[in-house]
A = this chain, B = another copy of it.
Protein backbone atom coordinates (compact mmCIF):
# COMPACT_ATOMS: atom_id res chain seq x y z
CA UNK A 1 0.00 0.00 0.00
CA UNK A 2 2.63 2.53 0.99
CA UNK A 3 2.22 6.20 1.70
CA UNK A 4 -1.05 8.02 1.30
CA UNK A 5 -0.58 11.63 0.26
CA UNK A 6 -2.74 14.68 0.54
CA UNK A 7 -3.35 14.40 -3.19
CA UNK A 8 -4.89 10.95 -2.74
CA UNK A 9 -7.21 12.37 -0.14
CA UNK A 10 -8.02 15.35 -2.34
CA UNK A 11 -8.98 13.13 -5.25
CA UNK A 12 -11.07 10.89 -3.07
CA UNK A 13 -12.88 13.86 -1.54
CA UNK A 14 -13.16 15.61 -4.87
CA UNK A 15 -11.43 18.76 -3.67
CA UNK A 16 -8.10 20.45 -4.23
CA UNK A 17 -4.92 19.29 -2.58
CA UNK A 18 -4.56 22.61 -0.80
CA UNK A 19 -7.95 22.12 0.79
CA UNK A 20 -6.65 18.94 2.34
CA UNK A 21 -3.57 20.73 3.56
CA UNK A 22 -5.69 23.43 5.12
CA UNK A 23 -7.87 21.08 7.07
CA UNK A 24 -4.76 19.64 8.67
CA UNK A 25 -3.12 22.98 9.28
CA UNK A 26 -3.81 24.69 12.57
CA UNK A 27 -5.54 28.01 12.02
CA UNK A 28 -6.10 27.74 8.30
CA UNK A 29 -9.42 28.81 6.89
CA UNK A 30 -11.71 25.97 5.86
CA UNK A 31 -15.45 25.71 5.95
CA UNK A 32 -17.09 23.15 8.16
CA UNK A 33 -18.42 21.27 5.21
CA UNK A 34 -15.06 21.09 3.53
CA UNK A 35 -13.35 19.95 6.68
CA UNK A 36 -15.91 17.23 7.13
CA UNK A 37 -15.55 15.95 3.57
CA UNK A 38 -11.80 15.94 3.79
CA UNK A 39 -11.61 14.26 7.16
CA UNK A 40 -13.92 11.54 6.01
CA UNK A 41 -11.77 10.74 3.00
CA UNK A 42 -8.63 11.01 5.12
CA UNK A 43 -9.94 8.60 7.70
CA UNK A 44 -10.91 6.09 5.06
CA UNK A 45 -7.42 6.15 3.63
CA UNK A 46 -5.76 6.39 7.06
CA UNK A 47 -4.05 9.54 5.86
CA UNK A 48 -1.66 11.47 8.08
CA UNK A 49 0.25 14.55 6.98
CA UNK A 50 3.93 13.94 6.44
CA UNK A 51 5.76 15.92 9.11
CA UNK A 52 8.98 15.81 7.14
CA UNK A 53 7.48 17.46 4.10
CA UNK A 54 5.82 19.98 6.33
CA UNK A 55 9.11 20.71 8.04
CA UNK A 56 10.70 21.52 4.75
CA UNK A 57 8.40 24.48 4.39
CA UNK A 58 7.72 25.57 7.92
CA UNK A 59 11.33 25.13 8.94
CA UNK A 60 10.20 23.27 12.06
CA UNK A 61 10.73 19.55 12.51
CA UNK A 62 9.01 19.19 15.89
CA UNK A 63 12.04 17.21 16.94
CA UNK A 64 14.02 18.10 20.04
CA UNK A 65 17.46 16.59 20.45
CA UNK A 66 18.30 15.27 23.86
CA UNK A 67 22.03 14.98 24.21
CA UNK A 68 22.89 12.83 27.15
CA UNK A 69 26.08 11.18 28.31
CA UNK A 70 24.81 8.08 30.00
CA UNK A 71 21.65 6.53 31.33
CA UNK A 72 23.01 4.40 34.17
CA UNK A 73 22.50 7.18 36.67
CA UNK A 74 18.77 6.95 37.33
CA UNK A 75 18.52 10.72 37.30
CA UNK A 76 18.71 10.78 33.52
CA UNK A 77 16.19 8.17 32.47
CA UNK A 78 13.88 9.83 34.95
CA UNK A 79 14.52 13.20 33.34
CA UNK A 80 14.18 11.71 29.87
CA UNK A 81 10.80 10.26 30.71
CA UNK A 82 9.55 13.51 32.18
CA UNK A 83 10.95 15.65 29.39
CA UNK A 84 9.40 13.38 26.83
CA UNK A 85 5.96 13.57 28.40
CA UNK A 86 6.10 17.33 28.75
CA UNK A 87 7.31 17.83 25.20
CA UNK A 88 4.67 15.53 23.82
CA UNK A 89 2.07 17.88 25.24
CA UNK A 90 3.55 20.58 23.08
CA UNK A 91 3.73 18.43 19.97
CA UNK A 92 7.43 17.66 20.13
CA UNK A 93 9.33 14.42 20.38
CA UNK A 94 12.78 13.56 21.60
CA UNK A 95 15.53 12.30 19.35
CA UNK A 96 18.25 10.72 21.45
CA UNK A 97 21.92 11.51 21.02
CA UNK A 98 24.37 9.65 23.21
CA UNK A 99 27.56 11.58 23.73
CA UNK A 100 29.59 9.68 26.23
CA UNK A 101 32.80 10.05 24.34
CA UNK A 102 34.63 13.09 25.50
CA UNK A 103 36.88 13.88 22.56
CA UNK A 104 36.23 17.13 20.74
CA UNK A 105 36.09 15.21 17.49
CA UNK A 106 33.33 12.93 18.68
CA UNK A 107 31.43 15.94 19.96
CA UNK A 108 31.71 17.56 16.55
CA UNK A 109 30.16 14.47 15.02
CA UNK A 110 27.22 14.67 17.38
CA UNK A 111 26.65 18.27 16.38
CA UNK A 112 26.84 17.21 12.73
CA UNK A 113 24.05 14.75 13.36
CA UNK A 114 21.98 17.31 15.22
CA UNK A 115 22.17 19.66 12.31
CA UNK A 116 21.41 16.87 9.85
CA UNK A 117 18.11 16.16 11.51
CA UNK A 118 17.10 19.82 11.56
CA UNK A 119 16.11 19.58 15.18
CA UNK A 120 14.16 22.53 16.51
CA UNK A 121 16.12 22.66 19.72
CA UNK A 122 18.66 20.92 21.87
CA UNK A 123 18.51 19.87 25.48
CA UNK A 124 22.01 19.06 26.63
CA UNK A 125 21.89 17.02 29.80
CA UNK A 126 25.01 16.01 31.64
CA UNK A 127 27.27 17.04 28.81
CA UNK A 128 29.59 19.93 28.33
CA UNK A 129 29.48 21.91 25.14
CA UNK A 130 32.64 23.55 24.00
CA UNK A 131 32.48 27.13 22.83
CA UNK A 132 33.06 26.11 19.24
CA UNK A 133 30.18 23.65 19.32
CA UNK A 134 27.86 26.15 20.91
CA UNK A 135 28.78 28.63 18.24
CA UNK A 136 28.02 26.15 15.47
CA UNK A 137 24.55 25.62 16.85
CA UNK A 138 24.06 29.34 17.14
CA UNK A 139 25.10 29.80 13.53
CA UNK A 140 22.62 27.14 12.51
CA UNK A 141 19.99 28.84 14.59
CA UNK A 142 19.37 25.87 16.83
CA UNK A 143 18.54 26.94 20.38
CA UNK A 144 20.19 25.11 23.25
CA UNK A 145 19.16 24.58 26.84
CA UNK A 146 21.67 23.14 29.26
CA UNK A 147 20.02 20.81 31.72
CA UNK A 148 21.74 20.10 35.01
CA UNK A 149 24.94 21.71 33.76
CA UNK A 150 26.12 25.27 33.53
CA UNK A 151 28.78 26.71 31.36
CA UNK A 152 31.00 29.76 31.53
CA UNK A 153 29.69 30.80 28.14
CA UNK A 154 27.22 33.52 29.10
CA UNK A 155 25.26 33.13 25.88
CA UNK A 156 24.06 29.67 26.90
CA UNK A 157 20.85 29.26 28.84
CA UNK A 158 20.79 26.66 31.54
CA UNK A 159 18.64 25.16 34.22
CA UNK A 160 20.23 23.67 37.29
CA UNK A 161 19.53 23.56 40.94
CA UNK A 162 21.70 25.71 43.14
CA UNK A 163 24.44 23.17 43.56
CA UNK A 164 26.65 25.36 45.67
CA UNK A 165 23.90 26.12 48.15
CA UNK A 166 22.63 22.56 48.19
CA UNK A 167 26.06 21.21 48.99
CA UNK A 168 26.58 23.89 51.60
CA UNK A 169 23.28 23.02 53.24
CA UNK A 170 24.14 19.34 53.32
CA UNK A 171 27.54 20.02 54.82
CA UNK A 172 26.15 22.43 57.40
CA UNK A 173 23.66 19.76 58.41
CA UNK A 174 26.48 17.31 58.97
CA UNK A 175 28.34 19.88 61.05
CA UNK A 176 25.23 20.77 63.04
CA UNK A 177 24.72 17.12 63.89
CA UNK A 178 28.16 16.83 65.37
CA UNK A 179 30.26 15.47 62.52
CA UNK A 180 33.78 16.79 62.50
CA UNK A 181 35.76 14.62 60.10
CA UNK A 182 34.03 15.30 56.79
CA UNK A 183 35.20 13.79 53.56
CA UNK A 184 33.91 14.60 50.10
CA UNK A 185 33.80 12.20 47.20
CA UNK A 186 33.17 14.81 44.58
CA UNK A 187 31.43 14.86 41.25
CA UNK A 188 33.65 15.08 38.21
CA UNK A 189 35.73 18.23 38.54
CA UNK A 190 35.38 18.92 34.83
CA UNK A 191 31.67 19.58 35.30
CA UNK A 192 29.98 22.62 36.76
CA UNK A 193 27.90 20.52 39.12
CA UNK A 194 30.96 18.68 40.38
CA UNK A 195 32.85 21.88 41.03
CA UNK A 196 29.97 23.81 42.55
CA UNK A 197 29.03 21.04 44.95
CA UNK A 198 32.66 20.73 46.01
CA UNK A 199 32.79 24.49 46.52
CA UNK A 200 29.68 24.42 48.69
CA UNK A 201 31.23 21.69 50.80
CA UNK A 202 34.47 23.62 51.17
CA UNK A 203 32.68 26.86 51.98
CA UNK A 204 30.62 25.38 54.81
CA UNK A 205 33.68 23.76 56.29
CA UNK A 206 35.73 26.90 56.08
CA UNK A 207 33.07 28.99 57.74
CA UNK A 208 33.09 26.46 60.54
CA UNK A 209 36.85 26.70 60.76
CA UNK A 210 37.44 23.09 59.83
CA UNK A 211 39.68 21.39 57.30
CA UNK A 212 38.16 18.75 55.02
CA UNK A 213 39.18 15.24 56.06
CA UNK A 214 39.75 14.46 52.40
CA UNK A 215 38.41 15.28 48.95
CA UNK A 216 38.58 12.73 46.13
CA UNK A 217 37.15 13.02 42.64
CA UNK A 218 34.69 10.21 42.03
CA UNK A 219 33.98 11.38 38.49
CA UNK A 220 30.27 10.52 38.76
CA UNK A 221 31.31 6.95 38.12
CA UNK A 222 30.45 3.88 40.18
CA UNK A 223 33.84 2.21 39.92
CA UNK A 224 35.73 5.41 40.59
CA UNK A 225 33.56 6.06 43.62
CA UNK A 226 34.36 2.63 45.03
CA UNK A 227 38.05 3.26 44.50
CA UNK A 228 37.70 6.58 46.24
CA UNK A 229 36.00 4.92 49.19
CA UNK A 230 38.77 2.39 49.53
CA UNK A 231 41.33 5.13 49.47
CA UNK A 232 39.43 7.05 52.10
CA UNK A 233 39.29 4.13 54.46
CA UNK A 234 42.86 3.02 53.97
CA UNK A 235 44.18 6.09 55.75
CA UNK A 236 45.92 5.30 58.98
CA UNK A 237 44.98 8.37 60.96
CA UNK A 238 41.39 7.52 61.89
CA UNK A 239 38.29 7.43 59.76
CA UNK A 240 35.90 10.07 58.48
CA UNK A 241 32.70 10.33 60.48
CA UNK A 242 30.75 11.58 57.47
CA UNK A 243 31.04 11.58 53.70
CA UNK A 244 29.30 14.01 51.42
CA UNK A 245 29.09 12.39 47.99
CA UNK A 246 28.73 14.29 44.72
CA UNK A 247 25.59 12.46 43.62
CA UNK A 248 23.32 9.60 44.64
CA UNK A 249 24.56 7.33 41.89
CA UNK A 250 28.04 7.35 43.44
CA UNK A 251 26.50 7.19 46.90
CA UNK A 252 25.09 3.75 46.28
CA UNK A 253 28.54 2.54 45.36
CA UNK A 254 30.10 4.21 48.38
CA UNK A 255 27.49 2.70 50.70
CA UNK A 256 27.92 -0.75 49.21
CA UNK A 257 31.66 -0.49 49.69
CA UNK A 258 31.40 0.75 53.26
CA UNK A 259 28.93 -1.91 54.30
CA UNK A 260 30.15 -4.93 52.40
CA UNK A 261 33.86 -4.28 51.97
CA UNK A 262 34.70 -2.27 55.07
CA UNK A 263 32.14 -3.98 57.25
CA UNK A 264 31.10 -0.68 58.76
CA UNK A 265 27.63 0.53 59.65
CA UNK A 266 25.79 3.51 58.22
CA UNK A 267 25.15 5.87 59.95
CA UNK A 268 26.58 4.46 63.20
CA UNK A 269 30.17 4.42 61.99
CA UNK A 270 29.90 6.93 59.21
CA UNK A 271 27.15 9.20 57.93
CA UNK A 272 26.47 9.62 54.23
CA UNK A 273 24.80 12.41 52.31
CA UNK A 274 24.14 12.35 48.58
CA UNK A 275 22.84 14.69 45.90
CA UNK A 276 19.89 14.33 43.48
CA UNK A 277 17.31 12.25 45.35
CA UNK A 278 16.70 9.77 42.57
CA UNK A 279 13.86 7.31 43.14
CA UNK A 280 16.26 4.60 44.31
CA UNK A 281 17.41 6.81 47.16
CA UNK A 282 14.14 6.44 48.97
CA UNK A 283 14.14 2.65 48.72
CA UNK A 284 14.72 1.09 52.15
CA UNK A 285 17.92 -0.65 51.07
CA UNK A 286 19.64 2.73 50.84
CA UNK A 287 17.23 5.15 52.53
CA UNK A 288 19.60 7.92 51.70
CA UNK A 289 19.83 11.39 53.19
CA UNK A 290 20.32 13.57 50.15
CA UNK A 291 19.83 16.96 48.55
CA UNK A 292 16.76 16.78 46.38
CA UNK A 293 17.01 18.39 42.99
CA UNK A 294 13.61 19.87 42.12
CA UNK A 295 13.42 17.81 38.98
CA UNK A 296 9.86 18.65 38.04
CA UNK A 297 10.54 22.35 38.24
CA UNK A 298 13.77 21.86 36.38
CA UNK A 299 11.97 20.06 33.58
CA UNK A 300 9.27 22.68 33.47
CA UNK A 301 11.74 25.54 33.30
CA UNK A 302 13.86 23.81 30.71
CA UNK A 303 10.93 23.35 28.41
CA UNK A 304 9.58 26.81 28.99
CA UNK A 305 12.99 28.25 28.24
CA UNK A 306 13.43 26.15 25.14
CA UNK A 307 10.01 27.06 23.78
CA UNK A 308 10.85 30.72 24.32
CA UNK A 309 14.08 30.32 22.42
CA UNK A 310 12.34 28.51 19.60
CA UNK A 311 9.48 30.91 19.18
CA UNK A 312 11.11 34.27 19.75
CA UNK A 313 14.80 34.36 19.12
CA UNK A 314 15.00 37.64 20.99
CA UNK A 315 15.09 35.90 24.35
CA UNK A 316 18.27 36.62 26.18
CA UNK A 317 20.09 33.74 27.80
CA UNK A 318 19.31 32.97 31.41
CA UNK A 319 21.11 30.80 33.91
CA UNK A 320 18.31 29.60 36.11
CA UNK A 321 19.19 28.07 39.47
CA UNK A 322 16.44 26.44 41.47
CA UNK A 323 16.54 25.79 45.15
CA UNK A 324 17.20 22.22 46.27
CA UNK A 325 16.10 20.78 49.59
CA UNK A 326 17.83 18.49 52.03
CA UNK A 327 15.87 15.30 52.56
CA UNK A 328 16.92 13.69 55.81
CA UNK A 329 16.61 9.92 55.83
CA UNK A 330 18.46 7.10 57.47
CA UNK A 331 22.08 7.51 56.44
CA UNK A 332 22.81 10.32 58.85
CA UNK A 333 22.59 10.53 62.62
CA UNK A 334 23.02 13.14 65.30
CA UNK A 335 26.41 12.49 66.85
CA UNK A 336 25.77 15.07 69.56
CA UNK A 337 23.10 12.90 71.11
CA UNK A 338 25.07 9.73 70.82
CA UNK A 339 27.01 9.78 74.05
Interface of A toward B, CB cutoff 8 Å: 1-3, 46, 48-53, 55-56, 59, 61, 63, 70-72, 74, 76-78, 80-81, 84-85, 88, 93-98, 112-113, 115-118, 136, 139-141, 252-253, 255-256, 259-260, 279-280, 283-286
B136 pairs with A46, CB closer than 8 A: yes
Q: Which of A52, A81, A88, A98 has the most CB of B within 10 A?
A: A52
On chain B, the residues within 8 Å of A95 by CB distance are 63, 93-96
**Interchain nearest-CB distance for A246 vs B (Å):** 18
A140 pairs with B1, CB closer than 8 A: yes
On chain B, the residues within 8 Å of A98 by CB distance are 81, 84-85, 88
**Interchain nearest-CB distance for A147 vs B (Å):** 15
Q: Cα distance A117–B93 when bound, in Å?
A: 9
A51 pairs with B84, CB closer than 8 A: no
A252 pairs with B285, CB closer than 8 A: yes
Given known pairs A252-B283, A252-B285, the reply for A140 and B46 (CB within 8 Å) is yes
On chain B, the residues within 8 Å of A139 by CB distance are 1, 46
Count copies of this chain in the complex. Answer: 2
Give 24 pairs: A residue, B residue, CB < 8 Å, sorted on A: A1-B139, A2-B141, A3-B59, A3-B140, A46-B136, A46-B139, A46-B140, A48-B112, A49-B116, A50-B116, A50-B118, A51-B116, A63-B95, A63-B117, A70-B81, A71-B78, A72-B81, A74-B74, A77-B77, A80-B96, A84-B98, A252-B283, A259-B284, A285-B285
On chain B, the residues within 8 Å of A286 by CB distance are 285
Q: Cα distance A329–B36 when bound, in Å?
A: 63
Q: Which 7 A-B pairs have the closest CB atoms?
A: A77-B77, A260-B284, A71-B77, A256-B284, A48-B115, A71-B81, A51-B116
In the complex, which residue of chain B has the Cβ closest to the Cβ of A66? B96
On chain B, the residues within 8 Å of A48 by CB distance are 112, 115-116
On chain B, the residues within 8 Å of A279 by CB distance are 72
